[in-house]
Amino acid sequence: MPRGPSVLTLCSAADLLTAPGCPVCRYATEASDRYLGWFALEGHAQSATITRLTAVYRYVVTAAGDRLAGRHGPPAACPA
């Protein structure tokens, strides 16, 4: 079964540590971008992915409803 990218190659450790801003946030953003690229090209039709997305959709809808109802505060700042 094909899998999403597991190794990030666009940024080296030196790039992450020397560019302005948080290296952890940059790494997470790059990982997210690469995963979404893989998902758009290959992963969107796999049954395992569709099953996982169902759980994610339920979580997002519940969290959005809670946020809109004022039951959650603003998102936390980057912990790094």
**Residue 8 maps to a domain:** no
pLDDT given for residue 11 in this prediction: 64
pLDDT given for residue 16 in this prediction: 79
**Residue 55 maps to a domain:** yes
**Residue 51 maps to a domain:** yes
pLDDT given for residue 38 in this prediction: 84
pTM above 0.75, yes or no: no
pLDDT given for residue 54 in this prediction: 86
Specify the number of domains making up the chain.
Answer: 1
**Residue 58 maps to a domain:** yes
Give the residue ranges of the chain where pLDDT is below 50. 1-6, 8
Closest CA to 30 of 48, 53, 49, 13: 13
pLDDT given for residue 58 in this prediction: 92
pLDDT given for residue 1 in this prediction: 40
